[in-house]
Amino acid sequence: MTRPFAPRLLWPLLATALIVSWSSGFIGIRLASEEAGVMLVLFWRTLMSGLLLLPLALLRGPRLTVRVVAEQMVFGVMVVFLYLGGFALAIGQRVPTGLVALISDLVPLAIAALSQPLLGERLRGRQWLGTGIGVAGVLIVSQDSLRLGHAPLWAYGVTVAAMLVFALATVLQKRRGMLQLPVYQTLCIQSLTGAALFGLAALAEGDITPPATPGFLLGVGWLVIFSTFFCYSIYYIALRLYPAAQVSSVIYLSPPVTMIWGWLMFDEPLTGLMFLGLAVTLVGVWLTSARTLPRATNRGRNAPDTFGDQVRLDG
């Protein structure tokens, strides 16, 4: 299918908007968590996002059956509550936002590792090499972050666990061959599922009443309008006009942007060693994100060739 014509100068504008808005999710959580607990922040973010999308999800797109809703709720638990909640919890514990963004972008490496046993996709040697290089880069960044930061050690582990949960959810969705709903329907169901769980977690911490402070309102508004709706609008417009590989490659530039934002806004650590580790990691992600070679099975033939089909809510 022929792609719509795109003016030559449109790509730099879309790419810049995508990088900034994608990285803004980490900064918005950091900003709002200055005023309230991360569970309360995520409750209001996911609740507002889900409610705003609900009329569209009910009135347009395929009919939502009980089975489809239940499946999306399961993935909502994994990719919203556990994945997004894990990263937000780490940021709330003051893990540097740039490191959190970097670990988030390791999802293709984890998907590559899980695709062989679960999807029957044979990986090239360069992909295994890329996985090792990517992990080495994260260890370089983490070493400086651990030395300069103030977060507890377990919070760094939470970021890795959250990334692995997202990768597992993506691979399981591919394995099941689930009905491909429009993004606004999946985002609505998964957001409302996350909101219910974040609400319970916030109640366990005390209250779900939002603090009437400018910082909290700005942070949640930032997350809903800029990091969710604006970000994904730009993302899907770009996918319509440009190749998927070109669009996804831009997203991998979000960690350095996030590091600079965190340094400027919150005085988070920013060192040459961290940028070295970032460069090493990006090389690993680039190597790993090459296409897989499916085995000659029905499941293998039906498996998607590219990573990252599941909608991400971090950006």
Pick 172 or 49 by higher pLDDT: 49
**pTM recorded for the entire structure:** 0.74
Range among 52-66, 93-107, 258-272, 294-308 rated most confident: 52-66
Instruction: Determine phi and psi for 122, rounding to 5 degrees.
Output: -85, 130
For residues 155-170, give the mean pLDDT.
85
- pLDDT score for 127: 65
- Other CB atoms within 10 A of residue 11 CB: 16
pLDDT of residue 100: 83
